[in-house]
């Protein structure tokens, strides 16, 4: 088998193996890049409701809060505090309830994991550890092989000795420039 045929076979077969992981890393990478615009881990359901507690904070206790929140189908109250004199913030399972004691309303914020995206982001950030670390390392080595073999697949003026060299240099120089600009 010639070297060029071996490079094509390696490039093709390793590319097939890596495609799923490339898609996972690409999708979650885009989400992580735009974390200021979209939370890649959770959706947050926000609703404003009528919710009255005594304006005298001495009359408020955990049992009273639990009773009032059960009417809103919130059953697990963890703790509460007063961030401002007339405001109570209650920590509940997967969220918070913030109420202005003078106005008789509350803002309920409940978070829930984004299906599939949460798990994919955890994989992207290597939260599982264990065998996933080894799999990710094998994937990284596969990407290195794909990159190196890809350099030599095309011959002539469109290959590494022609315009391919320009793309290669641009792909190296741009991250180096970004490194100096941002860090």
DSSP, residue by residue, 97-119: EEEETTTTEEEEEEEEEPTTHHH
**How open is the CA angle 105-108-112, to the nearest 5 degrees?**
170
**Closest C-alpha to 47, from 112, 114, 96:** 96
Q: Is the pLDDT of residue 55 over 90?
A: no
pLDDT at residue 165, as a whole number: 93
Specify the pTM. 0.70
Q: What does the pLDDT look like over 94-140, one tens digit per residue?
A: 999 999 999 989 999 999 999 999 999 999 888 888 899 999 999 99
pLDDT band at 43 (very low <50, low <70, confident <90, very high): very high
Give the helix ranges, DSSP H, for the chain. Answer: 3-33, 62-70, 117-124, 130-151, 163-182
pLDDT at residue 1, as a whole number: 84
Q: Alpha-carbon distance 107 to 171, whole Å?
A: 48
Q: Alpha-carbon distance 145 to 141, whole Å?
A: 6
Tokens of 72: 């809103």
Contact between 80 and 91 (Cβ < 8 Å): yes
Local structure of 79: helix, strand or coil: strand
């Amino acid at each position: 088998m010639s070297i060029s045929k071996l490079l094509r076979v390696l490039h093709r077969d390793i590319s097939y193996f890596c495609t799923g992981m490339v898609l996972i890393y690409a999708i979650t990478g885009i989400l992580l890049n735009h974390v200021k615009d979209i939370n890649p881990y959770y959706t947050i359901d926000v609703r404003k409701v009528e919710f009255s507690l005594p304006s005298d904070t001495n009359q408020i206790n955990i049992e009273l809060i639990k009773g009032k929140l059960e009417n809103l189908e919130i059953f697990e109250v963890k703790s509460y505090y007063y961030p401002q004199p007339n405001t109570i913030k209650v920590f509940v399972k997967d969220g918070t309830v913030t109420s202005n004691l003078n106005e008789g309303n509350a803002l309920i914020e409940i978070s829930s994991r984004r299906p599939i995206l949460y798990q994919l982001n955890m994989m992207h950030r290597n939260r599982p550890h264990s065998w996933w670390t080894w799999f990710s390392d094998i994937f990284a080595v596969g990407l290195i092989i794909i990159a190196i073999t890809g350099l030599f697949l095309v011959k002539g003026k469109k290959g590494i000795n022609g315009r391919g060299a320009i793309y290669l240099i641009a792909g190296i120089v741009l991250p180096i420039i970004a490194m100096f600009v941002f860090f």
